[in-house]
Amino acid sequence: MSENLTDDLAGMTMSQNLTNEQRVQRMQEQVKKMDKVSCSFCTAKWLQTTLYLQNGYNHSCHHPAPHKIPLEEVLKDPAALHNSLFKKQQRQKMIDGERPEECDYCWKIEDLKKGYYSDRHIKTTDDNWAWDRFDEIANAHPMQNINPSYLEVSFSNACNFACAYCSPDISSKWMEDIKQNGQYPLESVGAANSLNYLEATGKYPFAHNEENPYVDAFWEWFPEVFKDLKVFRITGGEPLMSKDTWKLIEWFKDKENKDCTIAFNTNLGVPDKLYDRFIPAINSLVPKFNRINVFTSLESTGEQAEYVRDGLNYEKFISNLRRLMNETTDVDVTIMTTVNILALPSFKNFLLLFLDLRKEFKMGDSWANSRLTLSVNYLRWPKHLSCTLLDHDERQKYALELEELAKEYQVDDTIEQESVFYLEDVNQINRFCEFLKTSETDLRNRKDFVSFVNAYDIRRNKNFSETFPEYIHLLEWKKDE
């Protein structure tokens, strides 16, 4: 247990008046304070949670694999949706300076010893929902219940997309594929490969019209935690296709929490009637809450983006993004990436697109302040779509191109620039490039890659060779093994 820590940064808030350099310097001081608690301390284990209510899974950060919430814990205490016994055990490890195995994404970043900030640092120092509760968490008993500050919830797997790296427990379109065509012919076992796997692990989702005790527990618990929330994020599946999302929006009509940001994940590809309903709905929430955020996802461009994100109409996505920015008031938008092997050929083009959009939607006359932000993440699962399948030389080539791009457009507070990556963006891009350059080549899952894309082409009416001419040589992997 740590002793009570004095906030060395008292009175210093994350102001938009701070320069990029000042924000980074501030984070350096905050990380030193984290290390006084322990070398593995991360308040996300206490303050952040994502609930997959469709099957009763949970994680406190999107990097660790979700864990099953025992139904008996939830029936006894709905707060166990967040404060499960398993999670409390991981909290104890962090207080004791142990590294929970499930958090290896951050340990790998930190072990590079290059000064990159891991998401453990970024999340714990986040002024929007974490940093103001640092002392409370550092001095709390790991086994006590804590209300989250950042709550993300998925009510169902209803989704009109079937992205290549997704799975039936997250996407109903994926579920249709597996039910109609059977499991993919892969040697590895995973959610994308077998409904038997979902059943065996308790990941098989409740049907949309089926009574779900986890959803019932949520509605019992949520009014109690709402007052403590700084970020409430609704995800899926595609949340705009869930009746509970619209139930929440209705619930918010007579509620107010000026400390809380309400966020929605959406693929920006839902039918027009839902999108026409969504935009005025989020505008109506603006006066009641601190901020309204919309998160969407993209990491490649054109036909390659449509190949990976099956169901995506690329031009419609860009049109709906612009409409979102133009027709909403005080709504911030984040584009999240899941950089996988199929994204690499056009990831640089995506980043250039992002820079153009950031320039288009800058705030006022400021070239360094935009409503559009970026989150760079690389794919870990399923392994047959990981960037590490590529030979080192190919990954090195992509990494050098991306590093050069980040350097070219890095913000410079002394020079007025029209298109910029903020220092936080550069850090994310460079740490991804370091991952590309230093990771071992995964030979084991190459066969599964070839088997997957061959089956994917048939099931989804696509053509890998035409869409990825730079990758035709990858189809030889199966022959070489």
- As a whole number of angstroms, the distance between CA 4 and CA 299 comes to 43
pLDDT-derived band of residue 480, with 50, 70 and 90 as boundaries? low
User: Which of the 8 DSSP states describes residue 286?
Assistant: G
Q: Is the pLDDT of residue 191 over 70?
A: no
Beta strands in 156-305 (DSSP E): 231-235, 257-265, 289-297
Q: Is the pLDDT of residue 437 over 70?
A: yes
Q: Is the dihedral of CA 55, 56, 59, 60 positive or negative?
A: positive
For residues 84-105, one letter each, b for 16 or more C-beta atoms within 10 angstroms of the residue's C-beta and e for the rest, the string is beebbebbebbbeeeebebbeb
Q: Is the pLDDT of residue 267 over 60?
A: yes
The stretch 293-312 carries a mean pLDDT of 98
- As a whole number of angstroms, the distance between CA 281 and CA 267 comes to 17
Greater model confidence, 19 or 257: 257
Greater model confidence, 66 or 24: 66
Supply the DSSP string of 339-384, one letter for each residue.
Answer: B-TTTHHHHHHHHHHHHHHHHHTBSTT-TT-BSEEEE--B--SSGG
Q: Is the pLDDT of residue 210 over 90?
A: no
- Judge contact between 325 and 340, C-beta under 8 A: no
pTM: 0.86
3-state secondary structure of 271: coil
pLDDT score of 473:
96
- As a whole number of angstroms, the distance between CA 126 and CA 13 comes to 11
- Judge contact between 297 and 332, C-beta under 8 A: no
Q: What is the pLDDT of residues 315-353, one digit of tens each?
A: 999 999 999 999 998 899 999 999 999 999 999 999 999
Per the omega criterion (within 30 degrees of 0), is the bond before 469 cis? no
pLDDT score of 436:
97
- Judge contact between 103 and 42, C-beta under 8 A: yes
The stretch 113-123 carries a mean pLDDT of 90
- As a whole number of angstroms, the distance between CA 132 and CA 217 comes to 28
Q: Is the pLDDT of residue 364 over 80?
A: no
- Judge contact between 391 and 441, C-beta under 8 A: yes
- As a whole number of angstroms, the distance between CA 219 and CA 372 comes to 32
- Judge contact between 395 and 347, C-beta under 8 A: no
pLDDT score of 10:
32
Greater model confidence, 7 or 373: 373
Q: Is the pLDDT of residue 108 over 70?
A: yes
Averaged pLDDT score across all residues of the chain: 92
Per the omega criterion (within 30 degrees of 0), is the bond before 237 cis? yes
pLDDT score of 8:
32
Q: What is the pLDDT of residues 132-152, one digit of tens each?
A: 999 999 999 999 999 999 999
**Angle (nearest 5°) at CA 403 between 402 and 405:** 65
- Residues with Cβ within 8 Å of 221's Cβ and at least 6 positions away in sequence, in order, are 78, 79, 81
Q: What is the pLDDT of residues 33-62, one digit of tens each?
A: 999 999 999 999 999 999 999 999 999 998
